[in-house]
Amino acid sequence: MKLGSFAAAAAVITLVFALLAFAQSEGDLRAHADTSALLVARAVAWTYAEEQAGDPDGRTQRLLEALPGELPAVKSALVLKGNKIVAHSAPDQAGRSLSQDSLSDKALYDSAQAVKASASKNVEERERDPSLKQDPYPEVEIASLPGGAVAASAPVRNDEDRVVGLARVEMAEPLPTLPYPALIVLIGLIAMAIFLFFARRSIAVPAGVVLLLFIAVADVWALSGFRFGLRRSVTLATAQNLGALARAGVLPPDVSRRPALIGALGRDAHGRMYPIELVDVRPVDRAMTRSATLALGAIPGGERFEAGDHEAWFVESSFEAAYDRDFSDLSRWAFLSGMVAIGLFVMGARGRIHAFWSAFTSNRTAYGYLAPAMVGMGILVFVPVVFGIVLGFTDRRYNVFEFAGLSNYVAILSDFDFTSTKNFYFKLGVTFLWTGANVMLHVGIGLFIALLLNDEMLRAKGIYRVLLVVPWAIPNYITALIWKGMFHKQFGAVNFFLDAVGLEPVAWFGSFWPAFMTNVATNTWLGFPFMMVVSLGALSSIPNDLYEAAFVDGASRWQRFKDITLPLLMPALVPAVIMGTVWTFNMFNIIYLVSGGAPDGATDILITDAFRWAFERDKYGYAAAYSTIIFLILLFFTLLTNKVTGATKGAFE
Amino acid sequence: MASVTLKNVFKRYGDNLVVRDISLEIEDGDFVVLVGPSGCGKSTTLRMIAGLEDISEGTLSIGSRVVNDVSPRDRDVAMVFQSYALYPHMTVEENISFGLKLRKMPAAEITKRVGEAATVLGITDLLSRKPKQLSGGQRQRVAMGRAIVRQPAVFLFDEPLSNLDAKLRVQMRAEIAKLYQRLKTTTVYVTHDQTEAMTLAKHIVVMSGGIVQQVGAPLDLYRAPANTFVAGFIGSPAMNFFEVEVSDGRLKGRGVDLPIPPRFSGSLPAQLTLGVRPEHFRTGGGAGTVRMRVDVLEPLGAIVNALCDVEGVSVTATLEPDTRVTVGEHITLGVDLEHVHLFDRASTRAVAGAPRAAA
């Protein structure tokens, strides 16, 4: 049955491309929304700067009032100077001062201050490093608002390049929902249907190869075509925005700050032409785009938007480079999914897919019931895991992930500087220590209490059980924060107690062992109820007459525990211990919230350090490789323990 | 081996009196069966002997030693549980040798004893298996092996056969009987099945409501039940009871009219219960007869049990297999006057008659 393997391979390719289509169209649309808002904000800022430099008074206010009429997407626009709104798209707002009591005014003021601060910082940096000069005005702020709107803020500068105010525009550009993923899936389905229609046994293999090739090529072609079309329409929309701005009497004189995919030119009242930055692309094309942009006027076939003294150009030819690059990007994906497809194909040839398929067909109903869970697991577990593993082979530069081979793994594993708290092996040691200490305490305390609770003579068992499960029931970050507070050096309950009994207070987070101990104490408090509940369940499933038989056979209390209770607890306890080990190994919350790695990251375990690599030290690829190593360690541990103990076999089966 | 003596033993759970004033002398080498309906206190009595239940009042001795406060492990008894209570994580061999190992017996001796026990019980080739790999009968044998290997002073059996199917039960019953014949160890055996009691016991203790109703050899209980409870409990099918009064020198009741059997020559209470075992009806009449309608016929091959109706009272009669009767027919059966029982209806006690010639 080769049909199954082809179908599976085709499904993989289709799925990969559908996801790509989804991600790309989402990204492109969002980038467009951001760019549009930014464009308008810059235009407003520029207009106000001109006004300040001596243009007719009130020009900005007139522009802002006209703006919503010309650009219906603009919800509001304003210019702030100091704490005064000097111009506003709603005339009644213009001229008022910001109120101390209004939260939205305060947010506005704060964002103006932030933009101003980063602008002056950037000025300093530009003076120090001339190479940054080609990015003259990077300081803008873009925020997503509820309902898909975008708020963009741009600084207003005076002649001396100093920030004197802030232009802020809220825009809600209608984003089309694009059916590209559905179209990709449709291609896959149609191709598969044709294939199944024509595929007779004898030609199944060549037909399948043709099918896969067809799907891959069609997907690459369709996706790059879609994207080309999308960019074209997005660019057109931007150009139309420009036209609208021009009609409103303004065009931003921005020099292309970032590389542009398209070029648009503004021509001001004096006949000077401005290249206008529009849509974000990657830095690779910087030179090309720039020259293309500057040469724009000479390229025929462009579209021209004109209003008064201003004109904007939109030229399609500059798309082609991007189209080519998209195409090669997609070809890489096609190659990758092709490799996966070949893998599946090999499995198919070995009969695996056939076995799977016959299992599937003979249990059709069961799989039907399982399908929702399987889809959920696939999306929530499988996709992120694969993504994470892939990320481990990349390195991020300028927001672009580049393939980096095994370099992350080599960097992690070949660092033997054990004295550094960031060293992998040091972290591994701490993690083992942490896991060992916790699991021993969890099992020890949990089992001990379970034995006490299992005593038939004990009264009010229900109350004890509820009380003892409480640590488990409280969200663990709350517990973590409470314990962190209790170990506070000055105000914590623990030091207060030490003081009360006449002992020296301890700086709990000042050195390794006390900090480590606070983590262990917190996690023990959190973790023992699980082991207690598991043990209690297993204890109550041990028939009482086994104890009686052992008692009559001559076993003492200890012998009954050792020879009856413990061996019969094992089938329940071993999986719980394995699970507990894995949980503890990856117990992020406690470490991060209680000691926070103090002192100096020494008490961080692998998982918290992986987090820091990703989100504090900004090395995603490195962090992903870190996580993959953690995963492999735990996988190895689980397979090993399962093999050694045969834990998945119950004693009563 | 030892005797077991219970003297005025009580067992209470809070206010609930489960065993009332039991006194028993179990001789060395005796096979005593405690029998009675569920909840009669027989299992509790056994568990008190084992030491698994405290004794609320009275004394319990094994041999000459009072063992009220002796731990089960020091009483030198071995018990076979209804559920067999085999240790699921141990092999058959480990199960059997567990008690010996706890007693720190030399390994060679353990091997020898386990081997002997396994041979006796025919489980030699099962020694390396786990309990879950055994059938019900095999588990039963292992449980017995675990008991006999210890060579205890007393064997205790707590309904050991009730988890087996009917055929296996008969087979294992015979095995237990054989085992006892071989070992002659003092044995206390609890069951609710009177057939088991009759076939196994040297002495039967019939219990009801926490009270001993009668103690005696099986056939003595059959022939001379002390009260209507024992009379109804021992024997299968159960004895038939008729309410009768003495009138004109005859026993008269609904559908019953018999002369007073010669054994009961003394003065009789006015209110009596007449007991007739099913096997003591005779086809073809006699001095006393009962007329009844046949409702159901149960042909068992060797005999036919006729479930009949005597003016609203259900009666079972055991007939010869070739008796020609049909369902719905009215028949008249004679009663073997030599074997009828009379009970005082108020006290339920048997009315003493002259000893009867051996049946």
Average pLDDT over residues A108-122: 80
Phi, psi of A249 (to 5 degrees): 100, 25
Is the pLDDT higher at A125 or at A295? Answer: A125
What mean pLDDT value characterizes chain A?
A: 77
State whether ipTM is beyond 0.90. Answer: no
Q: How far apart are CA A240 and CA A580, in angstroms?
A: 60
Task: Name every chain B residue with its beta carbon within 8 A of the beta carbon of A557.
Answer: none
Task: Name every chain A residue with its beta carbon within 8 A of the beta carbon of B157.
Answer: none
Across the interface, which of A551, A564, A570 has its CB nearest the CB of B52?
A551
Across the interface, which of A545, A549, A653 has its CB nearest the CB of B132?
A653
Radius of gyration of chain B (CA): 24
Q: How far apart are CA A529 and CA A542, in angstroms?
A: 20
pTM: 0.61
A302-335 pLDDT, tens per residue? 445 444 444 444 444 444 555 666 667 767 777 7
List domains and CATH numbers for chain A. Answer: 41-171 (3.30.450.20), 412-645 (1.10.3720.10)
**pLDDT at A506 (0 to 100):** 86
- Does A280 score more than 80 pLDDT? no
Q: Are A412 and A632 in contact (CB under 8 A)?
A: no
- Does A273 score more than 50 pLDDT? no
* Interchain contact B73–A (C-beta under 8 A): yes
Q: Mutate which of A552, A645, A653 to disrupt the B interface (most B C-beta within 10 Å)?
A: A552
Give the torsion sign (CA, A551, A554, A560, A564).
negative
Q: H/E element holding A451?
A: helix A424-453
- How many angstroms separate the CA of residue B100 from the nearest CA in chain A? 8
Domain B4-229 CATH assignment equals 3.30.1450.10: no
**pLDDT at A295 (0 to 100):** 34
Tell me the range of A2-6, A220-224, A246-250 where mean pLDDT is highest.
Answer: A220-224
**pLDDT at A532 (0 to 100):** 92
Is the pLDDT higher at A94 or at A541? Answer: A541
Task: Name every chain A residue with its beta carbon within 8 A of the beta carbon of B131.
Answer: none
* Interchain contact B224–A (C-beta under 8 A): no
- Does A629 score more than 90 pLDDT? yes
Q: Are A507 and A514 in contact (CB under 8 A)?
A: yes
Across the interface, which of A546, A559, A568 has its CB nearest the CB of B102?
A559
Q: What's B90's DSSP letter?
A: S
Task: Name every chain A residue with its beta carbon within 8 A of the beta carbon of B160.
Answer: none
B189-228 pLDDT, tens per residue? 999 999 999 999 999 999 999 999 999 999 999 999 999 9
Average pLDDT over residues A263-270: 46
Across the interface, which of B77, B89, B132 has its CB nearest the CB of A567?
B89
- Does A256 score more than 90 pLDDT? no
Across the interface, which of B51, B85, B89 has its CB nearest the CB of A549?
B85
Q: Mutate which of B90, B96, B102 to disrupt the A interface (most A C-beta within 10 Å)?
A: B102
Answer whether A545 sits within 8 Å of B83, measured CB to CB: yes
- How many angstroms separate the CA of residue A447 from the nearest CA in chain B? 20
Across the interface, which of A551, A559, A564 has its CB nearest the CB of B87?
A564
Task: Name every chain B residue with its beta carbon within 8 A of the beta carbon of A556.
Answer: 73
Q: How far apart are CA B14 and CA B11, in angstroms?
A: 10
Task: Name every chain A residue with its beta carbon within 8 A of the beta carbon of B52.
Answer: 548, 551-552
Answer whether A552 sits within 8 Å of B52, measured CB to CB: yes
Q: How far apart are CA A501 and CA A448, in angstroms?
A: 29
**pLDDT at A150 (0 to 100):** 85
Short-list A348, A291, A342, A289, CA closest to A320:
A289
- Does A89 score more than 60 pLDDT? yes
* Tokens matching residue B323: 């008796």
Answer whether A543 sits within 8 Å of B83, measured CB to CB: yes
Positions of chain B with pLDDT lower than 70, given as ranges: 1, 285, 354-359
Q: How far apart are CA A516 and CA A398, in angstroms?
A: 37
* Interchain contact B77–A (C-beta under 8 A): yes
Answer whether A551 sits within 8 Å of B85, measured CB to CB: no
- How many angstroms separate the CA of residue B264 from the nearest CA in chain A? 50
**Hey, which residues 44-63 in chain B have their CB within 8 Å of chain A?**
50-52
Residue of B nearest to A551 (CA): B73
CATH T-level fold of B237-344: OB fold (Dihydrolipoamide Acetyltransferase, E2P) (2.40.50)
Average pLDDT over residues A114-131: 73
Task: Name every chain A residue with its beta carbon within 8 A of the beta carbon of B79.
Answer: 548-549, 552
Answer whether B132 sits within 8 Å of A567, measured CB to CB: no
Interface of A with B (CB under 8 A): 543, 545-546, 548-556, 559, 563-564, 567-568, 570, 651-653
pLDDT bin (cut points 50, 70, 90) of residue A86 is confident
Is the pLDDT higher at A251 or at A461? Answer: A461
Q: What's B216's DSSP letter?
A: E
Q: How far apart are CA A69 and CA A75, in angstroms?
A: 10
* Interchain contact B110–A (C-beta under 8 A): no
Q: Which of A4-13, A359-368, A631-640 has the lowest mean pLDDT?
A: A4-13
Across the interface, which of B78, B87, B88 has its CB nearest the CB of A552?
B78
Q: H/E element holding B141?
A: helix B136-148
- How many angstroms separate the CA of residue B238 from the nearest CA in chain A? 34
- Does A263 score more than 50 pLDDT? no
Strands (DSSP E) contained in B284-339 are 289-299, 304-310, 313-319, 330-335
Answer whether A568 sits within 8 Å of B88, measured CB to CB: yes
Q: Are B273 and B264 in contact (CB under 8 A)?
A: no
Tell me the range of A48-57, A257-266, A381-390, A466-475 where mean pLDDT is highest.
Answer: A381-390
Q: Which of A251-265, A633-647, B72-86 has the lowest mean pLDDT?
A: A251-265
**pLDDT at A251 (0 to 100):** 52
The distance between the two most distant Cα atoms of chain B, rounded to a whole number of Å, is 78
Task: Name every chain B residue with its beta carbon within 8 A of the beta carbon of A550.
Answer: 87, 98
Domains B4-229 and B237-344 share a fold: no
Strands B186-191 and B154-158 turn out to be parallel
Answer whether B87 sits within 8 Å of A556, measured CB to CB: no
Going across the sheet that includes A84-88, the strands are: A84-88, A74-81, A163-171, A150-157, A141-144
**All structural domains of chain B with their residue ranges:** 4-229, 237-344
Q: Mutate which of B44, B53, B87, B94 to disrupt the A interface (most A C-beta within 10 Å)?
A: B87
Is the pLDDT higher at A276 or at A113? Answer: A113
Answer whether B79 sits within 8 Å of A552, measured CB to CB: yes
Residue of B nearest to A652 (CA): B88
**Side chain identity at residue A46, one-letter code:** W
Answer whether A551 sits within 8 Å of B72, measured CB to CB: yes
pLDDT bin (cut points 50, 70, 90) of residue A296 is very low
pLDDT bin (cut points 50, 70, 90) of residue A274 is very low
Q: Tell me which residue has tokens 């179990």.
A: B26
User: What burial class does residue A567 get, using C-beta atoms within 10 Å of its C-beta: 0-12 exposed, 13-18 middle, 19+ buried?
Assistant: middle
pLDDT over 90 for what percent of chain A? Answer: 20
Residue of A nearest to B85 (CA): A546
**pLDDT at A199 (0 to 100):** 67
* Interchain contact B103–A (C-beta under 8 A): yes
Task: Name every chain A residue with its beta carbon within 8 A of the beta carbon of B82.
Answer: 545
* Interchain contact B150–A (C-beta under 8 A): yes
A374-431 pLDDT, tens per residue? 999 999 999 999 989 888 888 876 556 777 778 889 989 988 888 888 889 999 999 9
**pLDDT at A240 (0 to 100):** 65
- Does A283 score more than 60 pLDDT? no
